[in-house]
Structure 1
Amino acid sequence: MSGHSKFANIKHKKEKNDAKKGKIFTIIGREIVMAVKAGGPDPSNNGKLRDVIAKAKANNMPNDTIERGIKKAAGADSADSYEKAVYEGYGPNGVAIIVETLTDNKNRTASNVRNAFTKGNGSIGTQGCVSYMFDQKGQIIIDKEECEVDADELMMTALDAGAEDFVEEEDSYEVLTAPDDLGAVREALEAAGVPLLEAQVAMIPQTTVELTDEKALKDIQRILDLLDDDDDVTDVWHNWAE
């Protein structure tokens, strides 16, 4: 990642998120609704809901807020309904960008995403135009400073639970899994007392694009900032080597 550790980028992302807790809680609230409607309100029988609850706790969402969200979503009169919509496109110099959203108004979301690309001199493409440049993986990031478990023991716990790869960075560990195995590996690490910084299904670029032109750098930042500010946008994946 162009001399930047993945953890440095994650930390940067988390710091931005900390300033926008409201948005993060809104997104997680919508994910709770979708998980409950798809598999019921009991986390012991709903793996997707277990994953969302773990994400909520990682973002310091209070337990009573989580429980309230589950009860509300399970209520017979719950009118909340969200759809997942994914947009693909190009930033400056052909940087590939994937935008994942959860929305109750696809027209509004599509318009906002298109506007973000346009303002940064990018363009929305067709479905599949850039996703082939990414691998979908379960990704778990562990902060070395917070983790007291020995690296070899950590690796064996992850691999025994079904992880595909274990990478030691300067300041973090990264565990990669098949998307469907993320929950099982996350639960095994949690059971071993490992504090997780991030656990999510990620789109990992196969190659990255360097940007050196000042205008291109401003344009890509403009696109990412506008998408980051949009409450409907849950995740943005790109292959810019920050």
Structure 2
Amino acid sequence: MIPHGTLYLLPVPLSEAPEALLTLSPRLLDRFRQLSFFVVETPKTARRLLKQIDHPLPIAQLTLSPLTRETPTAQLESLLAPLRQGHGLGLLSDAGCPAIADPGARLVNAAHTAGFRVVPETGPSSLLLGLMASGLEGQRFTFHGYLPTPEIARNARLVELEKRSRAVQETQAFIETPYRNEALFASLCRTLHATTQLCVARDLTGPQEWVWTAPVSEWQRHPHPDLHHLPTLFLFLARSSGRGD
């Protein structure tokens, strides 16, 4: 039985491949199937997932309210309406965990402000999976989401983050819109120091999953796998000044 007035944060698969559904636990699938009100990043994507997991209600009977970065703050109150009516409400991102590099964080904050219970469910997270597989510093790390798109601004930000990584031995992690992965990877190889450890984690949990960590100098010498249109997490750790750079 779902307690009234609870916002559930529901992770979704990282990949669109059918086998990615296996990354969702029975507990999480049960939670999806118990709810009929959802706030989602993209309704079309959410409808496809709810059909794949065999939600017991017809999709037409489910309420899928969109939340994007452009959603006005004043509209957040109306998105919480099911909670005020005593219903459970599920929050979904397009991929992975909601509210991580995703507009859902605004709704979570609004729910706390309004006094509603917030329950995070466990599921696939590209940040944690990539950090686990990278072999880089896992105790001190920062996830920056998206870096600036213009090349000059992006390169300047990379220089800043590398200095920070070197100074405090902190892993820096970020993502990019899949069709701009190649441009970001090129900037990393041009901008970072040759000894900086760079990890590329592609299509995590998907059919083209590939994770590799190596010094930037090695990435510069060898061809890298295709990153175009594939969700990718980038991480790096700069050597401290006392370690030979």
TM-score by length of 2: 0.27
TM-score by length of 1: 0.28
The structure richer in helix per residue is: 1
